[in-house]
Amino acid sequence: MSGRAEARIVLVTGASSGIGAATADVFARAGWRVFGTSRRARPSRDGIEMLPLDVRSDESVDDCAAQVMARAGRIDVLVNNAGIMHTGMAEETSLDEARALFETNLFGVVRMTNAVLPQMRVRRHGRIVNVGSAAAWVGEPGEAFYAASKQSLAGYTEALRHEVWPLGITVSLVEPGAFATDIVASASTSAGRITDYDPVRRAAVRTLQESLRRGGDPHKVADRIMEVAAARSPRLRYPVGPAARWLPLLRVLLPQRLFDHLLRRGYGLREQAAPRAR
């Protein structure tokens, strides 16, 4: 049997750019057989076999998993990286806009996971790595539904982890902080606009831009994902970046009032005086 046939198999969603592209590259350099996906068909590159995939579509997900199984015979590791960001105040965001976000960030993960679990259950072996976000720990202004989708993903990941553990399958969550990717540039924005929120909006945009300016190399996240894939007993959560490490600690250790004060001060938010009654 050739070394190629013996290579472990990984499927990385959202592998055309950012964290997904870096992750696919890291696995390929480590000798894995790598399948990457993107919304639009892209040519294969440097040992990465690219497949089209829309995680919002049951048909597309099933077809992608079937193609990997036909070519490789199994999937050892699934990296659920495909995701989108949405910016806008909570009240400004329509339910359709919120649903669209969840279709990718939560239900897209569910579709992909359900597509690969049957063959992992038969083999009593497999590993699933979901890419979450430090946003799961704090609902930052202007990112209400993005944070909600990542919090939901964290809860789903933890429950699934316990359900499949007796079957020899492990599930983990990698939670990056701010990294230099195009996720914000490609983010959707709420169509509605309420002028009362303009000061908060400006603060949110300014803070997000500053975080991205200081954002780290996506390969740091890719290296952590590889660490999860190689670990003998993977943990549930793997933070990546300073913010991802200290935010959970602050949430646990600080009183809520103090945490709120620090976050609002960091954003430059001030309470506005109510108009006087006439």
Active-site positions read: 146
* Nearest in space to 31 (alpha carbons), one of 51, 13, 52, 46: 46
H or E segment and range at residue 129: strand 126-131
Count of CB atoms within 10 A of residue 263's CB? 17
CA quadruple 252, 227, 51, 156: dihedral sign: negative
What is the secondary structure of 192-206 as a DSSP string? Answer: ---GGGHHHHHHHHH
- Strand bridging mode 169-176 / 188-189: unpaired
User: Considering all CA atoms of the chain, what is the largest pairwise distance in Å, rounded to the nearest integer?
Assistant: 86
Residue 134 token pair: 């430090």
- Please tell me whether residue 153 adopts helix, strand or coil conformation: helix
